[in-house]
Amino acid sequence: MNSPYALRVRDLAQRAGDMREVSVDIVVPSTLGAGLIAVRKGDQMHLDVKLEGLHEGILVSGHARAEATGGVLALPHRHQRARRCRIRRSVRV
């Protein structure tokens, strides 16, 4: 498994009714997001995942938590310079 997002599920395949909960912290391998705000490469992400074995496959559900950072360029008023401010916000996905 090369991806930090990959989980081993072989033991749940073809075992309808079996369930496993996984809680894991990973290092984000590449920037997640677009534009001015994103979860940066190297930041921490926490995953709470529930894996449920079904007859047809495996149902995966869960939550991811990470801190997204970025900047916003404030519009200048007359005779003022543009200011850059940082935004830090916890986003629940």
Q: Cβ(51)–Cβ(22) under 8 Å? A: yes
pTM above 0.85, yes or no: no
Average pLDDT in the 6-23 region? 84
Is the pLDDT at 13 greater than 50? The verdict is: yes
CA 48, 51, 52, 58 dihedral sign is positive
CA 20 from centroid of its chain's CA atoms: 20
Q: Cβ(32)–Cβ(38) under 8 Å? A: yes
Q: Give the tens place of pLDDT for each residue, 21-79.
A: 999 999 988 888 877 788 888 999 999 999 998 888 888 899 988 888 876 655 555 55
Rounded CA-CA distance 31/16 in Å is: 36
**pLDDT for the residue 21:** 93
Q: Give the tens place of pLDDT for each residue, 46-59.
A: 999 999 988 888 88
Rounded CA-CA distance 20/50 in Å is: 6
